[in-house]
Amino acid sequence: MMLSLSDQEEFDDELMTGRFDEKIDEFVALITSRPQTAMDDPSQSNTKDYNASVDDKESSSKLSNIDDLLCELDTNIQVGRPTTSKRTRGQHLFTQEDEYRENQKGGGFFNQTKFCSALRNEMKHIFNVDVTIEKSNDGSHQEYPIYIVTFQSTNAENVSKAKNALKLLFDSVKIEIVGEEAGFWIQDQDYARIVQFYGDQNKSLLILCEYSTIGLFIHYFDAHISVDFHRLCTTRETLRTILKNKFKSSDVNLPASSDVTKENKSFFAQDILQLEVEVRTRPILMKLEQRCIHLFGINQIVDEVVQQIECIKERYASNMVQLNLDSFQINYLIDFYSDEFQLMERTFVNAKILEHLKNGEFMAPQHIQSTIERQIKELATFCPPSSFTVEEEAFRPIAHNECPNLIKIGRRYKCHVEIEEFLTKHICEIPRSTAEDHVSNKLTAAAIKIEQGDLADQKVDLVVICSTSLYLRDDIIRKAGQSVKEEYEQIAQLSPSEPFETNSGDLQCRKLLFLPWHIDQSNKHKFTQSIRNFVRRSVQHALRAHHTSIAFPSIGCGKLNIGKDIIANEMLVEAQNQLLTANTLLQIIFVILPQQMDVVKAFEEKLASLQEGNIETKDAEISYHLSTLTLTIHSSNENNQRECIEALHTHVTNSTRTYEVYQQTALKKWTQPALNKFFRFCQKSHVVIDVDMKIGYLRLYGSKEAVREAESEYLRQQVKQSEEARLAVIARDIIWAYKIGENQWEKYSSDINALIEDQYTSKLQSFDYTDDKSKEYLIDFQTMTEKCLSTNRERPIVRQTDFTFPKDWHVQIHNVQQFSLPTNSDEFKSILRLFNKTMTKKYTEIVRIDRIQNKQWYMQYNSYRNFSPKKHTERKLFHGCSQQTTSLIINSFFNRSFAGINGIVYGQGAYFSAKANYSHNYATMTGSTGERYMFVADVLVGDTITGNSKMKTPPTGYDSTTDGDHIFVTYRDDQAYASYMIVYK
C-alpha cells in the first residue's frame, strides 16, 4: 500500500518531532510477544515466551494493523525515489570507500543488521548510491574491528555526497547516560540488554546500549544535527519518554515465613526459582531476596510476571485448620511431642503447628493439610487415666512450687501429669520468749511517747529530720541557726543520700539526724516497708551513737495524704521492734503538729494497744499456703504410666525432710528478736515450724534442702543465744574500764565488756576489737593497756571484780526484781524518816516502799562510784514521776528522756531534789487508784555548778549542775541508782 502525498507529509512531521512513539505504542505492546530477532542468539530462542497472546483475536488484529503500518512505512520510504534502470553497458561506475572503527563514536552500530539495512535503504533513497559494508579480516584489528563502507554510483557527485552525509551522521552521535535515577537496577549488566531489546523491536528506533560501571550508555543519532538521515535519528526527549513510559520496576512482597534462597527445598521456593530461570531469556530482570522479589522490564512483561508470582503465592498460602481434639489430648501433645512437631515443621515448610496447637489448631498450606492432620491425630492416643493424691505432710509447703518438676517427671515417661491443687492457709504463732533479763513488749511500748508540738522544741538527744521533706528540713535548719546550715550544706554535698548527724545549734536537743525517706508507692507492702526502713535506720543510728532519746516527725501525714492509721501502725510497731531487738529502753517520741488531731488520735490509739501488750498480727505470727495435690496421669502406654507413678512417689519422698528434736532447754534462752528472726527465716524458706517452748520441742518440715538450711540456722542460733547468755553470765559481775584522765575511768559498753572478759578468762595474751566508730583497738592483758591502732595512743585498763551487793538485798532469780519492805523493818523506817522530813502532813497513806534490785544497773553505778575520786559526794535524793514512767526507770536508768521531761531550767538532764515535797509536785497521781510514785536514789553529784537551760552537758571539770540549793541535774546513766520506790496517796 502506497502513502498519499498528505500521508507522506504527516509521516515526515511525526518522524521529525518525535511523535512517532504515539503511533507505535500498540506495536511496542505487542512486539514483545513476537519471536526473537536476529540480534538474539537463535540457540536460546523461546517462541512461547514472546507469543503469549497469539490465540487472542483482538491481539492478532492489532498485530496485523501494526504490520500494515510498518509495511506502509517501508513503502513510504520508497516514495519519491527515482526509478532507475539497470546500468547499461558502457556507463562508468564511481566507487569510494571509508573506514569506521568499532571503538570510535557510534562505531558499534555497524554490528547491527537493522542499522546496516536501514543505512543502505536511505543511501539508495536519498543519493541513489549503493552501499556495501564489510568487516575487515585484518588480524591486527581483532580487538576493535574496522568496518569498510563502499559507495558506488554512476554519479561521482552523489558518491561524494553520500560519503560526507555518513560522516556527518556519525558526527551527530550523542550518548544518553542513565545513572542512579534508575535505582539499583543500573548495576545489573542485563539492564542494557532489556533497553536494547526494546530498541531492536522498533523499526524506526536506532539505539546502541552499552553497560558501564557508572551507568547505561545509550548511543543515538541526534535528529537536531544530522541533515540527511532523519529516519535514522531520534532525540534525547524521545529517549527519555521511552525510558519513563515503556519500562517499569515492581516489588512483590513474600509471606514472612518465605525463604526463596536456593537452599530452601519447599515447593513454594522451588516454584519461584523455576520461574526465575524461565524469565532469564525474556526482556525482564528478576532479583530474589528472602522476603521480596524485585522486577524490572517492559511494562507488559513485568505485569505478566507479577501475576505469575501472585498465583504461586496463592497456591501455597497457609490457613488455619481446626483439630477435633479435647484439652487432655492437646496438653499431652504439647508436653511430649514438641520435638516431633518441630521436625514436621521443618519437613512441611510454612506449616505452623506448635504455635497454634494450644488453641487446638494448626496452620499449613492447603496441599499438605490432610497429611499433617492425620499425623497429629495418630500421636494423640490415650489409655485410661490414673489418679492419686499426694498425702505427705512435709510435701505440702513446697507442693505449689514443685508442680513444674512433677510435670517434667511425667514428660520423662511420655506421660501428661494433670494437677489439681487445693490450697489451705496455715498459721504459726510466734511464741513469746521465756529468756530472763529481756525487756517486755509492754515495757518497750512504755518507752514510746506521743507529743503534740514543734519538732524543733524537743529536749532529746537526737531529733530526726526527713531530709526529703524540704519544708520540714528547711524549717529545722532555719531555727537551728547559721552554723547548722553551713554544716548541713557541707556534709550534704559529700553524701546527700546517706544519713548524717550535725550539731543542734540553737535548738534544745543535742544532735540532729538528717535521713532521706526513700518512698516506694508501687504497692502497699513496699510503701509500708519504706516507712519501717526509715524508723529502723534512725533507731539503729541512735543506739550506735549511744543516744538515750530520739524524736521523730510523723512522716507521710502531709501532702502524700496517706492513711493516718497506716502511718501510725508502721512507725510505732517498728519502733517497738527495734527496742525489742536491741533489748534496751531508748526513749522514742513521735511529735505531731497540734492541728493534726486525726493523726494524734491514730497514734495514741495504736500506742495504747501496744502498751496493753497487744502485738501486730503480722509481727506475732507467720502464715503459709499449704497445697494438697491430686495428680492424674495420662499416657498412651500403660507401662509408661505405671513407671511414671512410681517415679512421682519417689520424687515426693526424696524431696522432703522432717527435722524433729525434744528437750531443747536452750530454747528458753532465746530472746524474742531471735525467735522472730528464726520464724521469718523459716517462712521465707517455706519450712513449716512447730515449737513448744515449755517442753523444748521443735519440728521443721518442708523441702530437703530448705529444712537442712533451717536446721543449720537453728543450730547457729542455739550456739549464738547460748554464747550470749554465757557472756552475760561471765561479765555480769565484772567491769572493765579504761582511763580517760587523772582519777577518771570510763567503762566499756556491755557488749565489749563481755567480749573482753571472755578473752581474758580464756587466758589469751591480747584481744583486738572495733568500736562503734570503726576504730580498731588492741588490748594487751599482760601490760593491761589498750592501744588505738590508728593513732598508736595507749591508755591503761582495769578489771574490777570486787563487787558486793547491799547487805539488805534479797536473793533474786532475775536481773531486775522489786521487794516490798516490811513496815516494821529498820530499812522501811529509815526511808520513811527521810521522806517525812519535807512531806509530813502532805500525804494520807504510805501504800508500800519497794526496794529496787537491778543488778546490772547497780553494778554500773557502783563501778562509776568506785572509779570516782569523789565518793564523798554521794547523796540520797528524790525523784517524782508518773506511774507509767516507773517501770522504765526501774528496768533502765534515770536517763533524761524518762526522768528529765519536767523541765530544763538548770540543764538538760535527769532532775533530783533533796526535798521530797519538791519532787512531790512531779509525782503524778494515778487516776484509778490515786497513788503517787517517788524514787529515793543514790546520786553521785560530784563537783556541781549552777546550771542553765542551754546546758546539754556540764562544763568541763564538773559532774552535775544545780540550782545552788536542793536541785541536782545529772547527765550520765550510771551517775544515779534508784534504790527505793515509795508508793503513797
> pLDDT-based confidence at 115, cuts 50/70/90?
very high
Cα–Cα dist 966/404, whole Å: 78
Question: Degrees (nearest 5) of the Cα angle 261, 262, 263?
Answer: 90
Whole-angstrom distance, CA of residue 725 vs CA of residue 919: 39
Report pLDDT for 807: 80
Closest CA relative to residue 402, chosen from 706, 655, 704: 655
Q: Is the dihedral of CA 50, 53, 58, 60 positive or negative?
A: positive
The CATH number of 387-423+627-656, from 2.60.40, 3.40.50, 1.10.20, 3.30.1370, is: 3.30.1370
pLDDT, residue 723, reads 75
Classified as helix, coil or strand, 137 is coil
Please provide the average confidence, as pLDDT, over all residues in the chain. Answer: 82
pLDDT of residue 20 exceeding 60: no
Q: pLDDT above 90 covers what percent of the chain? A: 32
pLDDT band at 618 (very low <50, low <70, confident <90, very high): low
Question: Bigger pLDDT: 738 or 524?
Answer: 738
Identity of residue 574:
E
Sequence-distant (6+) residues with CB within 8 A of 138 are 146
Which pLDDT tens digit goes with each residue over 793-829?
A: 899 988 877 667 788 888 776 778 899 999 999 999 9
For the cut 60, the answer to whether the pLDDT of residue 435 exceeds it is yes
1, pLDDT greater than 50: no
CA distances from 618 to 220, 679, 699 (A): 96, 12, 22
Q: What does each C-alpha distance from 373 to 344, 478, 662 come to in angstroms?
A: 11, 81, 64
Average pLDDT over residues 682-689: 92
Least confident residue range of 17-21, 340-344, 428-432, 720-724:
17-21
pLDDT band at 263 (very low <50, low <70, confident <90, very high): low
d(CA 633, CA 385): 5
- Map residue 95 onto helix, strand or coil: strand
CATH 3.30.1370 location in the chain? 387-423+627-656
Residue whose C-alpha is closest to residue 293's, from 279, 282, 281:
279
- What is the spatial distance between Cα 915 and Cα 878, in angstroms, rounded to a whole number? 7
Q: Which residue has the cell 492513711?
A: 563
Q: What does the pLDDT read at residue 168? A: 93
pLDDT interval class at 732 (50, 70, 90): low
Q: Which residues contact 410 (CB under 8 A, 6 or more apart)?
A: 335, 416, 417, 633, 644, 648
CA–CA distance, 404 with 419 (Å, rounded to integer)? 10
Pairing relationship of beta strands 130-135 and 785-788 according to DSSP bridges: unpaired
| The pLDDT of residue 234 is above 80 | yes
DSSP 640-706: HHHHHHHHHHHHHHHTEEEEEE---GGGGG--HHHHHHHHHHHHHTT-EEEEETTTTEEEEEEEHHH
Maximum alpha-carbon separation in the chain = 183
Q: Which amino acid is at 977?
A: Y
Task: Count Cβ atoms below 10 Å from residue 155 Cβ, excluding itself.
Answer: 14
Quote the CA–CA distance of 571 and 568 in Å, as a whole number.
5
Q: What is the reported pLDDT for 972?
A: 84
Q: Which residue has the cell 506421660?
A: 415
Q: Where in the chain is the domain with CATH 3.40.220.10?
A: 435-612
pLDDT in tens, 162-178: 999 999 999 999 999 98
Indicate if the pLDDT at residue 3 is higher than 70.
no
Please give the CATH topology (third level) of the domain spanning 816-984: Phosphoenolpyruvate Carboxykinase; domain 3 (3.90.228)
895 φ, ψ (degrees, to nearest 5): -80, 160
DSSP label at 227? S
Torsion, Cα 447 450 453 454, to 10 degrees, reads 60
pLDDT tens-digit map of 329-381: 888 888 788 888 999 988 887 788 988 998 999 998 888 888 999 899 888 87
The pLDDT-based confidence of 898 (bands split at 50, 70, 90) is low
Q: Is the pLDDT of residue 12 over 70?
A: no
Q: Which residues in the chain are classed under CATH 3.30.720.50?
A: 662-802
CA distance linking residue 458 with residue 474, whole number of Å: 17
Tell me the angle at which helices 399-412 and 327-336 cross, rounded to the nearest 10 degrees: 70
User: How many Å from the N-terminal Cα to the C-terminal Cα in the chain?
Assistant: 149
Contacts of 588 (CB under 8 A, 6+ apart): 447, 448, 449, 539, 549, 550, 551, 552, 575, 579
Does the pLDDT value for residue 597 go beyond 60? yes
- CATH 3.90.228.10 residue ranges of the chain are 816-984
966 pLDDT band (50/70/90 cuts)? very high
Calculated CA dihedral for residues 911, 915, 918, 919, nearest 10 degrees:
50
Strand, helix or coil for residue 501: strand
Average pLDDT (176-205) is 85
Bridge partners of residue 449, in order along the sequence = 589
Q: Of the candidates 899, 905, 861, 870, which has an alpha carbon nearest to the alpha carbon of residue 882?
A: 899
pLDDT in tens, 78-113: 333 343 444 555 578 899 999 998 888 899 999 999
- Range in 328-342, 486-500, 740-754 with the lowest mean pLDDT: 740-754
Average pLDDT over residues 880-898: 79
Q: Are 688 and 426 in contact (CB under 8 A)?
A: yes
- Whole-number pLDDT of residue 316: 81
φ/ψ of residue 567, rounded to 5: -60, -45
Distance CA 616, CA 192 (A): 89
Q: pTM for this structure?
A: 0.48
Rounded-to-integer distance, Cα 40 and Cα 38, Å: 5
The pLDDT of residue 762 is 83
Residues in contact with 803: Cβ distance below 8 Å, sequence separation at least 6, in sequence order: 733, 735, 859, 862, 863
CA angle (863 as vertex; 857, 867 as ends), nearest 5 = 150
Task: Note whether 580 and 544 are within 8 A (CB).
Answer: no
Distance CA 893, CA 909 (A): 12
Greatest mean pLDDT among 470-474, 858-862, 980-984 = 980-984
Question: Span 691-713, mean pLDDT?
Answer: 91
Please state, in angstroms and rounded to a whole number, the distance separating the CA atoms of residues 428 and 702.
Answer: 14
pLDDT for position 75: 40
CATH for 435-612, options being 1.10.260.40, 1.20.140.10, 3.20.20.70, 3.40.220.10: 3.40.220.10
Cell 521533706 sits on residue: 469
Grid cell in block for residue 530: 519504706
pLDDT of residue 744: 72
d(CA 250, CA 185): 11
Cell 591508755 belongs to 795
- How long is the chain? 985
pLDDT digits (tens, 9 = 90+) for 300-320: 999 999 999 988 888 888 889
Q: Residues near 630 by Cβ (< 8 Å), separated by ≥ 6? A: 387, 388, 389, 390, 419, 420, 422
**CA 756 and chain centroid, separation:** 48
Q: Hey, which CATH number is domain 662-802, 3.30.470.10, 3.40.50.2000, 3.30.720.50, 3.30.420.40?
A: 3.30.720.50
Return the pLDDT at 307. Answer: 94
